[in-house]
């Protein structure tokens, strides 16, 4: 069973639907016992880093998540990926979970004015190194992004990028901790393949 | 490289697609889930569901169908129509929408843009505007394009961008339904003044109109249309092949 961490973030229909499509049982939960009993964990997230981190702390689940991340595969999606890093500079400075080295900074600071922000839409994947997360995915396949901040100073964990003026961090891995900046649950067949791969790690 | 998005828009009343879609010239289909599936398979990059229902019963049929689509079609879903309050945002986001498009509701109370962005994130707030030429200026119209809201379109777009909209849909009343191409002068003005993704709407009649749009205005990130897709005047798969042949990045 895959535990999708419930800390009051919005739309999980597509994520639940995607996992159901690939035949994986999943539950949206904040119950520590259920999370301990799960064979893997997904940390979703949309909105602002500071708010999301505060809400996650309010659930009291942070110590459990840090512990469980050492024991079973964890996948952070979009803002959920950003929360895995040490800190974010989205409207102030905020501390993240620190499971991955690096920080989250505004795209506006590095992109030329010809690049629209948010980085919104379908962009092609590049793989600087192989990862089991992409065992069903080829370079050049498109995934759906929507974000205005991106992960940087994290070269050692980057497993996918997409070109948008810079090679934007698309996915990261450190051991069994994974994150995707894009939304696999919104990325059609390519996204289903990525979720399937995660469910088999 | 970021692909240009091709976005079909479905008008929904009482849980059915208004006017339906002519499926392979055989029969008209008005089931939103079947159509969502069809467009997904043709390569649509996103779907817009526009709720034109006025009744409470119709609203609940709409959220039911949204749940069914979101549980099955794994591309971004945008919902518009009748969005006037944070409760409306909440209702459709809980039913599977990824982005919420606000139009007359934002004209009536502009604070909704910032409040929704703060609560749900910029990425899900789409400012949709119906624009028409009045003298030398572009004015925003409300109530389905019937009433001049007395707002300058460029100022309104800038206001939206500054207050937390994550995307702007520009629908030109002047070109809508004319099938003579998108309103390039209007879109050039909007894209020059805001840095948000801008979706062009109104005027597409054939494949060349999309090609003109993306060639002339590389700043435009997506093209939205309804009837040309529904009546098979433009086939999305073929449209994307033509765009790709002309070096326009598509998925």
In this prediction, residue B28 has a pLDDT band, given cuts at 50, 70 and 90, of low
Give residue B47's pLDDT.
97
Angstrom distance (rounded) from CA A96 to CA A83: 5
Give residue B162's pLDDT.
97
Q: Which of A90, A147, A185, A189 is catalytic?
A: A185
- Indicate which of A116, A185, A194 best probes the interface with B, i.e. most B CBs within 10 Å of its own CB: A116
In this prediction, residue B120 has a pLDDT band, given cuts at 50, 70 and 90, of confident
Whether residue A160 contacts residue A201, with contact meaning beta carbons closer than 8 Å, is answered with no
Q: Which of B45, B51, B88, B130 is catalytic?
A: B130
Whether residue B82 contacts residue B58, with contact meaning beta carbons closer than 8 Å, is answered with no
Report whether pLDDT(B154) > 60.
yes
Give residue B227's pLDDT.
87
Indicate left, alpha or beta for A47 from its phi (over 0: left) and psi (-120 to 50: alpha): left
CATH entry, A2-200, from 3.40.50.880, 3.40.50.450, 3.30.70.1230, 3.90.550.10? 3.40.50.880
In this prediction, residue A97 has a pLDDT band, given cuts at 50, 70 and 90, of very high
For residue B81, tell me if it sits in a domain: yes
Give residue A140's pLDDT.
97
Structural domain containing residue B234: 5-245
Q: Which of A154, A183, A189, A200 is catalytic?
A: A183
Nearest Cβ partner for B74 among A10, A121, A191? A191
> Of A94-98, A122-126, B53-57, B110-114, which gets the smallest average pLDDT?
B53-57
Angstrom distance (rounded) from CA B176 to CA B134: 16
Place of tokens 């051991």: A175
> Active site includes A156?
no
Q: What are phi and psi of B80, to 5 degrees?
A: -140, 175
- ipTM, two decimals: 0.94
H helices present in chain B, as ranges? 32-42, 56-70, 86-93, 104-108, 111-120, 153-162, 184-193, 207-216, 227-230, 236-245
> Of A169-183, B24-38, B194-208, which gets the smallest average pLDDT?
B24-38
Q: What pTM did the predictor assign?
A: 0.96
For residue B251, tell me if it sits in a domain: no
Average pLDDT over residues B178-186: 96
Give residue B55's pLDDT.
77
Residue range A10-66, pLDDT digits in tens = 678 889 999 999 999 999 999 999 999 999 999 998 888 988 999 999 999 999 999
Identify the residue with better confidence: B232 or B102.
B102
Place of tokens 């974010």: A88
What percent of chain A has pLDDT above 70? 99
Helix (H, G, I), strand (E, B) or coil at A128: coil
Average pLDDT over chain B, rounded to whole? 93
Report whether pLDDT(B79) > 70.
yes
Give residue B245's pLDDT.
98
Average pLDDT over residues B67-91: 93
Sheet holding A177-180, edge to edge: A26-29, A2-5, A40-43, A74-77, A177-180, A166-174, A158-164
Report whether pLDDT(B25) > 60.
no
Is A20 close to B71, i.e. CB distance below 8 A? Answer: yes
In this prediction, residue B52 has a pLDDT band, given cuts at 50, 70 and 90, of confident
What residues in B contact A118, CB-CB < 8 Å? 122-123, 166-167, 196-197
Whether residue A116 contacts residue B218, with contact meaning beta carbons closer than 8 Å, is answered with no
User: Any bridge partners for residue A141, and if so which?
Assistant: none
A113: number of CA atoms within 13 Å, CB side? Answer: 4
**Between residues 68 and 127 of chain B, which touch chain A (CB distance below 8 Å)?**
70-72, 74-76, 93-98, 118-124
Place of tokens 């999980």: A12
Give residue A85's pLDDT.
98
Structurally, how many domains does chain B consist of? Answer: 1
- Exposed/middle/buried for residue B192 (C-beta within 10 Å: 0-12, 13-18, 19+): exposed
Give residue B16's pLDDT.
86
What residues in A contact B2, CB-CB < 8 Å? 119, 121-123, 162, 164
Average pLDDT over residues B25-41: 82
Residue B101, H or E segment: strand B99-102
In this prediction, residue B24 has a pLDDT band, given cuts at 50, 70 and 90, of low
Domain ranges of chain A: 2-200
Nearest Cβ partner for A123 among B2, B40, B222? B2
Question: Cβ of B49 under 8 Å from any chain A Cβ?
Answer: no
What percent of chain B has pLDDT above 90? 78
Average pLDDT over residues B4-15: 93
Characterize the bridge pairing of strands A158-164 and A166-174: antiparallel
> Active site includes B11?
yes
Q: What angle do CA B30, B128, B64 make, to 5 degrees?
A: 35
For residue B250, tell me if it sits in a domain: no
Output the domain CATH number for residue B89: 3.20.20.70
What residues in B contact A119, CB-CB < 8 Å? 2
The full DSSP string for A74-113 is: EEEETHHHHTTSSEE-SSS-EE---SSS-EEEEGGGTS-T
Tally C-beta pairs within 8 A across A and B: 106
Average pLDDT over residues B71-100: 93
User: Any bridge partners for residue A88, and if so which?
Assistant: A94, A104
Closest CA to B3 of A187, A111, A196: A187
In this prediction, residue B145 has a pLDDT band, given cuts at 50, 70 and 90, of confident
In this prediction, residue B26 has a pLDDT band, given cuts at 50, 70 and 90, of low
Angstrom distance (rounded) from CA B134 to CA A190: 46
Give residue B22's pLDDT.
63
Angstrom distance (rounded) from CA A56 to CA A77: 14
For residue B150, tell me if it sits in a domain: yes
What residues in B contact A21, CB-CB < 8 Å? 72, 74
With both helix axes pointing from N to C terminus, report the angle between A13-21 and B56-70 in degrees, rounded to the nearest 10: 40
């Amino acid at each position: 069973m895959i535990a999708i961490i419930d800390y009051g973030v919005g739309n999980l229909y597509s994520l639940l639907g995607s996992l159901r499509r690939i035949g994986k049982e999943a539950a949206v939960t904040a119950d520590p016992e259920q999370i301990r009993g799960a064979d893997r964990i997904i940390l979703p997230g949309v909105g602002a880093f500071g708010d999301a981190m505060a809400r996650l702390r309010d659930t009291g689940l942070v110590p459990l998540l840090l512990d469980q991340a050492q024991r079973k595969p964890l996948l952070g999606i979009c803002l959920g990926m950003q929360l895995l890093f040490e800190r974010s500079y989205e409207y102030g400075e905020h501390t993240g979970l620190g499971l991955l080295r690096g920080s989250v900074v505004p795209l506006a600071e590095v992109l030329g004015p010809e690049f629209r922000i948010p980085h919104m839409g379908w962009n092609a994947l590049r793989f600087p190194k192989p990862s089991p997360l992409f065992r069903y995915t080829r370079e050049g396949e498109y995934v759906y992004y929507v974000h205005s901040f991106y992960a940087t100073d994290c070269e050692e964990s980057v497993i996918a990028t997409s070109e948008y003026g810079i090679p934007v961090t698309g996915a990261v891995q450190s051991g069994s901790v994974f994150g995707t900046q894009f939304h696999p649950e919104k990325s059609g067949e390519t996204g289903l393949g990525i979720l399937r791969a995660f469910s088999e790690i | 490289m970021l692909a240009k998005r091709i976005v079909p828009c479905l008008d929904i009343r009482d849980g059915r697609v208004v006017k339906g879609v002519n499926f392979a010239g055989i029969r008209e289909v008005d089931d939103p889930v079947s159509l969502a599936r069809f467009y997904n398979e043709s390569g649509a990059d996103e779907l817009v569901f526009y709720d034109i229902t006025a009744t409470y019963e119709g609203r609940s049929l709409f959220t039911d169908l949204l749940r069914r689509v979101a549980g099955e079609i794994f591309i971004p879903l945008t919902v518009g129509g009748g969005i006037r309050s944070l409760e409306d945002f909440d209702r459709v986001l809980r039913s599977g929408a990824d982005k919420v498009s606000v139009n007359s509701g934002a004209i009536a109370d502009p604070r909704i843009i910032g409040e929704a962005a703060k609560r749900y994130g910029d990425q899900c707030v789409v400012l949709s505007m119906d624009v028409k030429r009045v003298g030398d200026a572009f004015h925003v119209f409300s109530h389905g394009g019937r009433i001049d809201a007395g707002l300058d379109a460029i100022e309104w777009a800038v206001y939206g961008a500054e207050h937390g909209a994550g995307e702007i849909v520009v629908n030109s009343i002047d070109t809508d339904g004319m099938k003579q191409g998108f309103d390039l002068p209007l879109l050039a003005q909007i894209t020059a003044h805001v840095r948000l993704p801008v979706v062009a709407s109104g005027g597409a009649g054939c494949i060349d109109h999309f090609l003109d749009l993306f060639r002339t205005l590389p700043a435009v990130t997506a093209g939205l249309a309804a009837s040309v897709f529904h009546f098979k005047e433009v086939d999305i798969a073929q449209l994307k092949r033509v765009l790709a042949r002309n070096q326009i990045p598509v998925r």
